[in-house]
Chain A
Amino acid sequence: MKALPVTKILVLAVVAIIALAPTIAPAFYVTLLNYIGLYSLVALGLVLLTGVAGQTSFGQAAFVGLGAYTTAVHTTQYGWSPWLTLIVALAITLTVGYLLGLITLSMGGHYLPLATIAWGMSLYFLMGTIEQFGGFTGITGIPPVSLFGFSLEKEDHFYYFIWIVVLAALWAVANLLDSRPGRAIRALKQGTTMVEAFGVHPGRTKTAVFVIAAVLACLSGWLYAHLQRFVNPTPFGINQGIEYLFMAVIGGAVSVWGAVLGATFVTLLKTWLQDLLPKIIGEAGQFEIIVFGILLVLILQYARDGLMPFLQRFVPVAKRALPDAGDRLQHRAMPPADEPVLTVEEARKTFGGLVAVSDVTFNVNAREVVGLIGPNGAGKSTCFNLISGALEATSGSIKFMGQELIGQPASAISKLGLARTFQHVKLVATMTVVENVALGAYLRGSKGIIASALRLNKVDEAAALAEAMRQLERVGLAEHAHDAASSLPLGKQRVVEIARALASDPILLLLDEPAAGLRFAEKQQLAALIKTLKGEGVTVLLVEHDMDFVMGLVDRLVVLNFGQKLAQGLPEVVQADPAVREAYLGA
C-alpha cells in the first residue's frame, strides 16, 4: 500500500533532520538527542502496550535497567563482547517479561498498574543491593560498542547507531500495527468476547505485546549503558517509569511517532525549564516541577489524546487507494443442502437457581435460514451465546458439523466455521471499516508478529485485505472501506459486522438481533442480503424479536419462551400456533 504523500514528506523531513543534526546542532543538543532516542524506544513500547493494547505499565524503567545491568556486569567483569551481552540481555528480558506478563496480565483493571509499580520497585531495589552490581554507586568502565572493527566511542558516532535502532523499531512497530496480528492487538481494548469470536487468543496476544515493550526497553538500556559507559540504579526507578508513561501519553499513545514526539517534548521541556527558570525567577527552587506540571495539565486539557493526534488534524488526509477485491484465501468445503449443520440437544444453562435455557432441542440444516424468536427474556441470547461459546452450557449437547461444542473456547469454535455478529455492535472504533472486516479473516492468515514487523507478510496481508474488500462489495459497503468504523450509522455498522463474520468463511452465520435499531428501508436491505447469502450457500441462524422482519425471511422458526422451546416449524404454522400467540400477546 502506498503511504500518503504529505505524511511521507513529513517522515522524510524528520529523518533528514535526524541525519543532519550532529553536523549542525551544538554538542549539547547531540547529547540530548541521544537521550531522546533512548527514551523514544521505551515510549514506543508503551505506545504499543498502553496506548494500543490498553495495559498501563509503570514498570518499564525496570526493563531498561535489566538491559543496562546485564551488559554492564558481563562486559566489565567477564570481558564479554557487547554484542554477546545484547543477546543475553534480550534472552533474560524475554524470559522475565514473559513470566511477569503471565502473572500480572491476568490481573484486570486497576490491579495491573499497581502490580507494575510493585515489581518495578522490587527490581529497582534488587539492582541497588546485589553486591556484584556495585550497589547504589553502580558500575564504571563499560567498554564502547564497536561495529565491524569501528569503535563507536565518540558520541556523534553512537548517535547514528542509536537513531538507526530507533527508526528501525518505529518501522517494525508501524508494520506490526498494520498487519494481521496488529489488528488483533488493536482490537484488544474492545474486550475479549469479540476477538475470541474470531479466533484471537487475548491472553497470548497481551503477553506478546508486553514482551515486545519489555524488549524495546531492554534495548534502550543496553544502548544507555554503552553510551554512558557507567550505570547506577537511579535512572531505573519508579519516577523514571512514570516519566516514560508521561512521554507516551503526552506524545499521543496511539501512533508510533507519538513516542518520539513525546520523548522529545518532555526531554526538551525539562531541560529548558531547568535552564530558563532560574534565569527568569532568579532563584533555585522547584519552580521547574511546578511549571512542568501545569504545562502537562494544560496540554492534556487542550489535546487530551496527546500531541500527535492534535497535530495530525492539521495534516490533510489523502484517501488511501482501495485495495482490489479478490478471492485468494482458502475456502472450506461447504456441506451439501439439508445436511445437519447444528444440532442442539437438551441444552441447559443455569445461573445459580435461575434456569435461563431449559433443555432446548432444535437443529439447523445446511443452506437454511432459521430464526430463533421469542419475547424479551425468553433465553434467545443465552442460547445463542451457548452455541458461539461465549457461555458454557450446564448440560446437554451442542454439535456443529458432528463436533461437540460444549467445553470448547470461543476461539476454537470459530475455527470450525462458525461466525457471529453482536447484538450491541462491537467494531473497533479506531480502525477503518476494511481493517475491521479483515479482522474476521484472522484465522485464514498465518503470518505472526515477527514476520509482520519485518514486512515478510506482503502476500498474506494483500490476500486478507482483498478478501475484506470482497466481503464489503458483497454486502454493498465497498465505498466506505477507508472510513473510520465509528463514523458509520448504526445500520451500516451492523452490516459491517456481517461482512466481518463472512470474512472468516463461515459454514454457519449467527446473527444476534441484526435488525435491532434499523429503519424500515435498512431492514429491507438486510433481509435481501440474508437471502442472497443463503443463495450463495451460507447457513444462517438468527435471533430476532421483530416478527415482521423474520416472517418473510426464514425457512423455519424456533420459538422460545421462559427458556423453553414453545414451538418450531414453518413460519406460517408457528404464527398460527395458539401457544405462540399467547406468549406474544398474552391473550
Chain B
Amino acid sequence: MDATIAALLTQDGLTNGSIYCLLALALVLVFAVTRVIFVPQGEFVAFSALTLAAFEQNKLPGTVWLLLALAAVAAFADVLSRWREPKRMLRSIAGTSLPSALAALLVWGVASAQMAFSIQVLTTIAAVTAMGPAVYRLAFQPIANATVLTLLIVSVAVHFVLTGLGLLFFGAEGVRTTAFTSASFTLGSVSISGQSLLVYAFTIFLVIAMAVFFKFTLFGKALRATAANRTGARLVGISPNFAGSLSITLSAAIGAVSGLLIGPIATIYYDSGFLIGLKGFVGAIVGGLASYPIAAGGAIFVGLVESFSSFWASAYKEVIVFTLIIPVLLWRSLTTTHHEEE
C-alpha cells in the first residue's frame, strides 16, 4: 500500500464514517429519550435515497403509498383508542396522521409537476421526516414504559415491517442517485471528490446544529430533560409522548439527510438500510448509547476500519468490522463505571 491508496481509503472511510456518525447520533438521541434501540433507523436512509431516485427517473415515488398507509393506520388507531374524547383524538390525528398525509400530497405534486432538483431534495427530506410521528404513534407509544428488551423486539419487528413495505412500494431494484456536485479537488497527489467534501460539511453542520438545538432551544432542552429523568420531565410538564415522537422524527430527518448523502456513493436497495444502520449502531454502542462525541468518534472509526479491511480482505470486510468491535467494547465496558440503581 502506498500513500495514495492510503489517502484514498482514508477519504472513503471518513465519508462512510461521517454517515455512520449521523446515524449514531440519531440512535443515541432516540435511545436516551425513549430507551428504544431504534433498529429501523436504516430504513429511513434507504427510503430517502429511493424517493430521490424515483423523482430523478420521473416516476411517482412509492413513498406516497407508504405515507398514505402510515397516515391511514395511525388515524385508525387514534379513532379506535380515543373516540370517547373527540378533542384529544383530533389533536393526536393532527400531530401524527396529518403530516404523513400532507407529505404524501407534496410528493405527488412535486413528482407530477417535475419540479427542480433542489425542491425534490427538500421534498424527500420532508416526506421521510413525516414518517417519524406515525411510526412512533403506531409502534412505540402504546408500550412506552415496557422493558428495554420488549422495546428492542418491537423495534426489530418494525424493521421487518418497513423492509417489507419498502420492497412492496419501491421494488427490488437498486438505485444510485446523481451526485450533488461533480467537482473534484487535488491536494498534492490526492484527489478529493466534491461529494465527499459535501458529506463532511453536512456532517459537521448537522453535529453543530444538533448541539445548538440541545443547548439553546426549548424543545432541545425538553428532550435532554426527558433523557435525564423521565419522571422529572413529566412533572415539569413535558409530555413523554411528545418527547418520544419528536426524537424519532428528528432521527427520521437525520436518516433522510444521510440517505441523500450516501445515495450517490453506494447503490441502495430497499433493504440496504439495515447494515448501514447496524454500523451506526456499533458507533453508538462504542459511545455507550450516552455520549454524543464518543459515538461520533466510534462511527468514524467503524468507517475507517471498514474501508481499510475492504482493501486487504474484501470478503472479510463485515466480519473484520464486527470482530474488531469486541476489544473496543471490552475496553469501553471496563472503563465505564456502572451505577447501580439505589
Which A residues form the contact surface with B (CB < 8 A)?
50, 56, 103-104, 106-111, 113-115, 117-119, 121-122, 125, 191-193, 242, 245-246, 249-250, 253, 285-290, 292-294, 296-297, 300-301, 304-305, 423-424
Inter-chain CA distance A122–B288, complex, in Å, is 22
Inter-chain CA distance A119–B318, complex, in Å, is 12
Which B residues form the contact surface with A (CB < 8 A)?
37, 138-139, 142-143, 146-147, 149-150, 152-154, 156-161, 163-165, 167-168, 281-282, 285, 288-289, 316, 318-319, 322-323, 325-326, 329-330, 332-334, 336, 338, 340-342
With A286-B168, A289-B163, A290-B164 as given contacts, are A106 and B156 in contact (CB-CB < 8 Å)?
A: no
B139 contacts which chain A residues (CB < 8 A)? 297
B332 contacts which chain A residues (CB < 8 A)? 111
| Cβ-defined partner of A192 (8 Å) among B37, B152, B340 | B340
Q: List the 8 closest A-B pairs by CB distance, nearest first.
A: A293-B161, A293-B160, A290-B164, A107-B333, A296-B157, A286-B164, A289-B164, A108-B338
Cβ of B20 to closest chain A Cβ, rounded Å: 14
Inter-chain CA distance A111–B281, complex, in Å, is 11
Interface of chain B, helix or strand or loop or mixed? helix
Residue ID in chain B nearest A107 by CB atoms: B333
With A114-B325, A118-B325, A290-B165 as given contacts, are A297 and B333 in contact (CB-CB < 8 Å)?
A: no
Inter-chain CA distance A242–B149, complex, in Å, is 12
Inter-chain CA distance A104–B139, complex, in Å, is 31
| Cβ-defined partner of B156 (8 Å) among A110, A193, A246, A301 | A246
| Cβ-defined partner of A114 (8 Å) among B138, B165, B281 | B281
Interface of chain A, helix or strand or loop or mixed? helix
A110 contacts which chain B residues (CB < 8 A)? 37, 285, 288-289
Inter-chain CA distance A192–B147, complex, in Å, is 19
Cβ of A384 to closest chain B Cβ, rounded Å: 13
A115 contacts which chain B residues (CB < 8 A)? 325-326, 329-330
| Cβ-defined partner of B160 (8 Å) among A125, A290, A304, A423 | A290
With A110-B37, A118-B329, A300-B153 as given contacts, are A285 and B167 in contact (CB-CB < 8 Å)?
A: yes
B152 contacts which chain A residues (CB < 8 A)? 56, 113
Inter-chain CA distance A294–B160, complex, in Å, is 9
B164 contacts which chain A residues (CB < 8 A)? 285-290, 293
Cβ of B46 to closest chain A Cβ, rounded Å: 14
User: Can you list 5 A-B pairs, Cβ within 8 angstroms, ordered by A?
Assistant: A121-B318, A253-B149, A290-B160, A294-B157, A300-B146
Inter-chain CA distance A250–B289, complex, in Å, is 26
| Cβ-defined partner of A50 (8 Å) among B149, B167, B281, B282 | B149
Cβ of A426 to closest chain B Cβ, rounded Å: 10
Residues B326 and A119 in contact, CB atoms below 8 Å apart = yes
A285 contacts which chain B residues (CB < 8 A)? 164, 167-168
Residues A118 and B323 in contact, CB atoms below 8 Å apart = yes
Residues B319 and A424 in contact, CB atoms below 8 Å apart = no
B146 contacts which chain A residues (CB < 8 A)? 300, 304
